[in-house]
Amino acid sequence: MSMFDKNTELTSGSSDEMSNLDIYLGLTTDERIFIPGVYENGLITICGSSSYKSYLMESWDIFKPKKIIPIALTAWGDLIYVEAGSQVTQMFFMQKHKGIEIDISPHEFIVYILRNEEEGEEFLQTSKFRRVLNKCGPLTYGNCYIHEPWQLWNVSESIGNWTMGDNSVYIDLVGQTWPQRDKALEAMKKAGKEGRAPKIKVSISE
């Protein structure tokens, strides 16, 4: 059975696939906690074992040589995961290149941020999600919302610049881009310029 309550809607996914979390916990199909798929139109995606492998973050230097278990993804492609052999829940924010440790189990954390408004706003950005959902439509399994240009280039966000794309491809490309960004900043410092990403003006209005 699902650990979600009856008000949490599975909007896209497959009930035939086991989630990474259930496999990690050694559960059977009858004992599983989460059905892989998209919940609440994409607010969070539970990672299935055939769709999200341990090499999801292989393009990120910070994750080498770690072996991770992808548990869930937010609408923005941010990852909730555990490391193999570890009991520590972690969340990684792609556009900030920042990770945090969570002091409760991954399934407890997911349920907590879905059920509590303040924490949902902090970790899932629920208010922004509703606006982007209205513009782009609901997410399907395997996709996330992507802002163009990416926020790592120090852009100002605009609802009109959000689109939908493959989250695995997105994560891989962002991981490849961070070293390029860092090299650009280092070159700017050596040239005597301010060491931060150049701000890109966005012309598309909300």
pLDDT of residue 3 exceeding 80, the answer is no
Structure tokens at 40: 């609440």
The pLDDT tens digits of the residues spanning 38-79 come to 999 999 999 999 889 888 898 998 888 888 999 999 999 999
Query: In 165-179, which positions are buried (b, 16+ CB within 10 angstroms) versus exposed (e)?
Result: eebbebbbebbeebe
Structure confidence at residue 204 (pLDDT): 31
Is residue 159 within 8 Å of residue 145, measured between CB atoms?
no
CA 18, CA 33: separation in Å to the nearest integer? 9
pLDDT of residue 115 exceeding 50, the answer is yes
